[in-house]
Structures are given as C-alpha cells and as structure tokens.
Amino acid sequence: MSGLILAIETSCDETAAAVVDDALAVRSSVVASQIDLHAAFGGVVPELASRAHVEMITTIVDQALTEAGIAGADLSAIAVTSGPGLVGALLVGIATAKSLALGWGLPIVSVNHLEGHLASVFLADGDVPFPQTALLVSGGHTAIYRVDAPRADVIAELGATRDDAAGEAFDKVAKLLGLGYPGGPVVDRLAAKGDASRVKLSPPMDTRGSFEMSFSGIKTQVARLVAQTPEPRTEGWAADVCASFQAAVTGVLARKVIEAATREHVEDVVLGGGVAANAELRRRVRALGEAKGLRVLVPPLTSCTDNAAMIAYAGAVRLSEGARDGWDLVATSRTALERKTRKGRGSR
C-alpha cells in the first residue's frame, strides 16, 4: 500500500489525527488533550471523554489534513485505533474513520493501541532492527515484550504487571500527595528536586529472573506514609516521596527490561507508552543498557504519550501486509495483542 494514510486515535483522553506518507514520514500529527476536563475528577471520566471526542474529532482531522497540506481526496487509506481503550471513546474514532472512508472511497484498517505504542520508536528512527525487547509502560498497560516484527502474532509477552499499570501508580501517588492529574509529569518534575534516601519504600516485586511486575503494593506504601505523616506536609517532603517512589518503580522497570534483553540475546531495547516519557526511566534504561553493550532507543517525548502518528505507522505496516477491515469493524477492548498477553493468567 502506498500513498498517504490518515490515522485517528481516540482510545482514552486524547483526540488525535495524523498523516504519514509513502516513506512512513510523519506529515502532520495533531493531539488535543482533555487533561483539563478530567483534572478536577483526578482521573479520566469515560462519558466526558466520549463527549469531548465527539466535539473535537472533526476539527482535529481537518487540522491534520491542513497541516499535511492535503485534502481527503489525496489519501489512500484510513487507520484507526480499535482497542484496547474506553469503548465510547474508541467508537467516536471508529465511526469517524468509517464515515470518511465511505465518503472518500478509501480502505480502512484497524490498529491495536499497544502495537501503536510499540511502533512509536520508529517515528524518530525508522531503522531500528528486529528483534527488539520492548518495555511498554503506560496508564493502562505495563509489559515487556520480545518483538520479532511489528505484528501482534510475533510479539511475545515476557512478563507483565499482575495488577496496576506503572502509570496508574504514578497517577495515584500524585493524587495522594495532592499534586493533580495526570500524575506522571508532575511526579517526574518534583522527584528531580527530592532526595530518595530520605523516604524508605521497598521496590515493587524486585525478583531476579522473573519479568512479572506489580505496582499496587507501592501505592499502598505511599498511602500509609501519607496517612502517618502529620500536617503540614511540605513540598520538600512531597519531593522526597516522589523521588523515592520514582526511583523504586523506574529501578525495577529498567532492571527487568535489560535483564529480559540479555536473556533473549536481543541487542535492541525500545521503550513506549506515556511512562516512557519519564526522565529517570529513560536515564536508567540507557545507563544499564549501555553497561551491557545494548542499544537503547527511546522515542521523543511527544511520541511516548497517546498520539495518532504511531497509529498511522502501525496502520501503514498492516496495510502493506494486506490487512483491511470491513464495515463491521467495532471497538474492542480485547484485541489480539492483549488477548495474547492475558493467556494463562486468567482475567484481571
């Protein structure tokens, strides 16, 4: 499949559209964040997310086409995130993609959101070789994969969180400390001013030789700490808690992904997902990887959090393999990659 591809991403709280060209270069990438809308509630409110997508989607698609300097008639296909995600939010993107595809006579291809995150590293460097060991770490997912090609059927999960995603823990800790939503960026900033050694937290599930993870226990540790610390709790204290929490979480993530790459004899390590924007995680994975002679590739900050350029890239790969979806395309929270990651562990 050649030509220009429009991608639409509405799985959570970002309304995004992007255009990539034949050479898989990003011609435009527009992201409208709903953060302000959800901040007052301390998390994403699904119904508000869906409604905001409905309000924004036409403008955002229009902007992506304008910035790419093209019209709908110049496109050769439309890619859209079909899951996992909030079902009402996904449906807005899917309905829009179907309507545009019907109106402009274009093929449509669905993209797994997680495959999108795994493809984000190619937005900066199209030449990352396979196989790769990937750490996908976001608000909804945390897992380590061996990626032999950018296709769900050859992506093998080496380990994953048994409970919360790491991003969820960042968000919860920020909420406990009264720092607002989303928690990741603010914990990241505050941690840089803190001293991790002043607050003792045990690293979560720090066992060697296993790539399973857990982040609910450290949330509870922080909740207890907050409950036991009398007011006034200073910003300096909060900074120390953030530094200790961030060191514990990023330490485990970095060690596990590098250990996985070493065990798999895979030289290329890639990061993806919103938490991959974390400065300490990026630094630690790079440092540990370099010490082992591995190549560590980290997407640019804006490609880590949800965006449509990564969906366009993954969609272009699927299209080039002949994948197409019909009008029966529906939103699904359990797509191939996710089903595979859940195999053998029961539902969560």
The site for Zn ion (CB under 5 A) is made up of: 138, 306
Helix (H, G, I), strand (E, B) or coil at 10: coil
Tell me the closest approach of the beta carbon of residue 216 to ligand KG4, in angstroms. Answer: 14
Interface with ligand KG4 includes 179 (CB under 6 A)?
no
Helix (H, G, I), strand (E, B) or coil at 106: coil
Stretch that binds ligand KG4, among 104-112, 118-126, 176-184, 311-319 (CB under 6 A): 176-184
Q: Can you tell me the distance from the alpha carbon of 248 to that of 254, in angstroms, rounded to the nearest whole number?
A: 10
Tell me the closest approach of the beta carbon of residue 179 to ligand KG4, in angstroms. Answer: 11
- Cβ proximity to Zn ion: between 13 and 240 the closer is 13
Binder to ligand KG4 among 12, 26, 144, 314 (CB under 6 A)? 12
Give the burial string for 269-297 (b: 16+ CB within 10 Å, else e). bbbbbbbbbbebbbebbbebbeeeebbbb
Interface with ligand KG4 includes 188 (CB under 6 A)?
yes
Q: Can you tell me the distance from the alpha carbon of 202 to that of 274, in angstroms, rounded to the nearest whole number?
A: 23
Stretch that binds ligand KG4, among 25-33, 38-46, 165-173, 195-203 (CB under 6 A): 165-173
Helix (H, G, I), strand (E, B) or coil at 206: coil
Binder to ligand KG4 among 145, 170, 211, 245 (CB under 6 A)? 170
Phi, psi of 30 (to 5 degrees): -115, 130
Tell me the closest approach of the beta carbon of residue 327 to ligand KG4, in angstroms. Answer: 27
Residue 215's contacts (CB-CB under 8 Å, 6 or more residues apart) are 142, 161, 163, 164, 165, 166, 168, 169, 204, 249
Q: Build a one-symbol-per-residue string for 278-307: x at contacts with ligand KG4 by CB under 6 A, - elsewhere.
A: x--------------------------xx-
Only one residue has tokens 């709908």, namely 72
Query: Angle at CA 188, nearest 5°, toward 297 and 288?
Result: 35
Stretch that binds ligand KG4, among 29-37, 53-61, 150-158, 166-174 (CB under 6 A): 166-174
- Cβ proximity to Zn ion: between 182 and 289 the closer is 182
- Cβ proximity to ligand KG4: between 75 and 84 the closer is 84
